[in-house]
Structure 1
Amino acid sequence: MGDSPPQPQPQPQPPPPPPPSTDSNLLIPDLPNDISLQCIARVPHIHHSNLSLVSKSWNSLLRSPHFFNTRFNLSSTQTLLFINVRIHNLSFKWYFFDPKNPKSLFSVPSIPVQSIGSAFAALGHKIYVIGGSINDIPSPNVWVFDSRSKNWELGPRMRVGREFAAAGVVNGRIYVIGGCLIDSWSKSTHWAEVFDPVMGNWEAVSSPIDVKEKWMHGCAVIGDKVYAMADRGGVVYDTKELSWDVVKTEMDLGWRGRAAVVDGVLFCYDYLGKIRGFDENVGCWRELEGLDSGLHKFLCGATMANVGGNLCVLWERKGMGKEMEIWCAEISIRKGSGELWGSIVWSQVILVVPNGSSVVHCLAVGL
């Protein structure tokens, strides 16, 4: 599924002052704990695993909401890119890295239950793996990964099982569309659902009977609208107006596979080997210019994400022997005079995996 840019997070409340420091519980010798916290919170996230080894008090601090609120208030939050890779069609592995330091790639624990055809969404600091097929049966389960604690937990179940559904985040809520056969009244009613993390449950989203395709091969969020692309056309749900429509023919004809939205423009990789962008205000697809000498000729399995306002593109490339390389490029985007221009910030191999593997999805998460 296509991904959406990280959603703005509510301004956290000012943290309570830390307890008075004593020599026995100082985080840093000769410094009050509130000053120590300000120092530690400025350290890039990629070093946190090493910092957690300093002491038990540091390990506890690095997992606390108080610590992450402090990072937010100091504008020290970083956007990390999480990628899901399918190895030899047998298992799924998760990794993450900081695009500002792409040479440092970290693995995270595997999801407890493997499924095929899941949808994905990032909401705050959590990643949601939605549905998927287990032993050829669509599942209603939702697995939630807390990127702060690096733990998985089983979240609230959907009303129906889904595989190859579309999912998008709008205004702090997750919308999921399709991925289920309409063979009962219950499934018809819950063809689209919305998850509210405050209430902690899924609710049905009313939808007309004539738009209920099963398989969704692409998804994106533009403004308040969730776009879901099926094998035959696509649908768009306006979460503000609570209304449905079909995707315009111009957008449908150019949308191929996984996509990302940057500055209101939908980007995808087309069958001609070009990255193109669709701006609803213009109503047509335009090639992203300026990339001819900076990327490989063909980007096999191209997957995209909006990372801090830049477009990150991942693709697969044949490596040495029985290995396959996963490449990533960060591209800055600018619009002007009816054209789209891209400048490559960096491009390199980030991971080497066995042949037959593939990039399933990527998500940007702020930490």
Structure 2
Amino acid sequence: MSTSTTATATATVKPSATSPPQPPQLIPSLPDDVALNIIARIPRCHHPTLSLVSKPMKSLISSPVLYTARSLLNAPEHFLYITLRLPHSPFLRFYALHQISTQPNNNPKNILVPLPHFPSPSLVASTFAAIGPRIYVIGGSVQDIPSSHVWSLDCRTHTWEAAPNMRVSRELAAAGVVDDKIYVIGGCVVDNWARSKNWAEVYDPKTGKWNSVPSPIEVRDKWMHASAVIDGKVYAMGDRNGVCYEVKSGSWGAVETDLDNGWRGRACVIDGVLFCYDYLGKIRGFDVKEGIWKELKGLDKVLPKFLCGATMVNLGGKLMVVWESKDGGGGKGMEIWCAEIEVKKDEAGDLWGKIEWSDVVLTVPLRTFIANCLAVAL
């Protein structure tokens, strides 16, 4: 009796001879950490094909783990995202610049590919910023009423989600990213204590919180038409004199006169030089260390003579210029052009540009305009 009971108990606790099934490997015969190291080096244009290989591969392609690995390997690629406002559409339209092969000569061609619709209709005068793989659409107005809403586009999956609201509603604000935090300046009328206290705010994606940035009354009550970050300073250009906020010291100051007077439209910064166009539509760069404007030479025979209204962005160290052209639309539409320019400073200190490519990337209806463009590392 006792022996039988003991045998039964022993049989009950005996481990199963069948081991639990192991999850499938990313690459058979290779450890997953080695496979991840290999896959992270593959250009992103091949990711759609890789996602068809297996379920584990498809899961990895859309996982933050892959993009973290690409960042650690210093292998991220820089992609251009453009925002357009089309006539008769209440929604902003977002596009990503893709390079495709053409037949029969197989020469690559750059085109704008549409992304999922922006969730909020009728939003105008928003501010844009990019941190890591995300683009943030900040504030704006709906039927002339400023909004505090913030939306985030995950460029890895091209999905939209709501981000935490700002403390203050804004339109036509300035924004700059320093140390992976978004600083937003102005765009609101300081007619009460709350708006005055939060005239400038900072957003930390890690905590998901907005906090006020102390600002003196002398710099408030400004609408901003342009912004940029140079050497840890956020420059916000108002209708009357720009302001500058140094993040490290928390100090505010005025933008120097030469920079303020010569800054026109949307600008970008490459190696300490702020590029924009001048009154004649020519691209110029403001060398911060020297404190002077210089013409970007070497482009006269390639780019249009009049570039006012163009948008510029630093795309992985290259100057990307985006503009609208009605010349090739045949009277029924207009063209969106892009040019990628390598910029450098010679021994004499002069700025030179070399166009790597320039082409039409999209044809759109008349009265379409470019709201913004940003570079995202993926």
TM > 0.5:
yes
| CA drift at 1:65 | 2.0
| CA drift at 1:106 | 2.6
| CA drift at 1:77 | 1.2
The CA distance in 1 between the partners of 2:246 and 2:31, in whole Å, is 50
The CA distance in 1 between the partners of 2:113 and 2:188, in whole Å, is 34
* Paired position in structure 2 for 1:15: none
**Alignment length (residue pairs):** 347
The CA distance in 1 between the partners of 2:188 and 2:112, in whole Å, is 35
The CA distance in 1 between the partners of 2:253 and 2:73, in whole Å, is 42
Of 170, 178, 196, the residue aligned with 2:178 is 170
The CA distance in 2 between the partners of 1:73 and 1:226, in whole Å, is 27
What amino acid is the match of 2:97? F
Change (3 A) 1:290 1:99: farther
Confirm or deny: 8 A CA contact 1:89 1:356 kept in the other structure.
Answer: no
Q: Highest relative contact order (Cα 8 Å, sep 6+), 1 or 2?
A: 1
| CA drift at 1:111 | 1.5
1:63-99 deviation line (CA, Å, top 9, x unaligned): 1122222222333310111111111163311111257
* Paired position in structure 2 for 1:108: 115
| CA drift at 1:171 | 1.1
| CA drift at 1:40 | 3.0
| 1:1-367 alignment runs, 5 A limit | 25-29=24-28, 31-88=30-87, 90=89, 91-98=91-98, 103-114=110-121, 115-318=123-326, 319-336=329-346, 337-367=348-378
Q: Once structures 1 and 2 are overlaid, which stretch shifts more, 89-98 or 226-235?
A: 89-98
1:4-39 deviation line (CA, Å, top 9, x unaligned): xxxxxxxxxxxxxxxxxx897243455554444344
Structure with larger Rg: 2
Q: Once structures 1 and 2 are overlaid, which stretch shifts more, 45-54 or 113-122?
A: 45-54
| CA drift at 1:210 | 1.7
The CA distance in 2 between the partners of 1:102 and 1:302, in whole Å, is 21
1:40-82 deviation line (CA, Å, top 9, x unaligned): 3232212323432343322211111222222223333101111
Confirm or deny: 8 A CA contact 2:279 2:308 kept in the other structure.
Answer: no
What amino acid is the match of 1:353? V
| CA drift at 1:339 | 1.5
SS in 2 for 1:271: coil
1:296-333 deviation line (CA, Å, top 9, x unaligned): 22225200000111110000111223121111111111
SS in 1 for 2:57: helix
Change (3 A) 1:89 1:362: farther
SS in 2 for 1:59: helix
Over aligned residues, Cα RMSD in angstroms?
2.0
Confirm or deny: 8 A CA contact 1:299 1:316 kept in the other structure.
Answer: no
SS in 2 for 1:162: coil
SS in 2 for 1:228: strand
SS in 1 for 2:189: coil
SS in 2 for 1:306: strand
| CA drift at 1:285 | 1.2
Confirm or deny: 8 A CA contact 2:202 2:212 kept in the other structure.
Answer: yes
What amino acid is the match of 1:45? R
Change (3 A) 1:240 1:23: closer
In structure 2, stretches of 5+ residues that fail to align are 1-20, 101-107
SS in 1 for 2:289: coil
> Once the two structures are aligned, what percentage of the paired residues are identical?
54
The CA distance in 1 between the partners of 2:296 and 2:88, in whole Å, is 33
What amino acid is the match of 1:327? W
1:93-145 deviation line (CA, Å, top 9, x unaligned): 11112579652533221221131000010111111110000121110011011
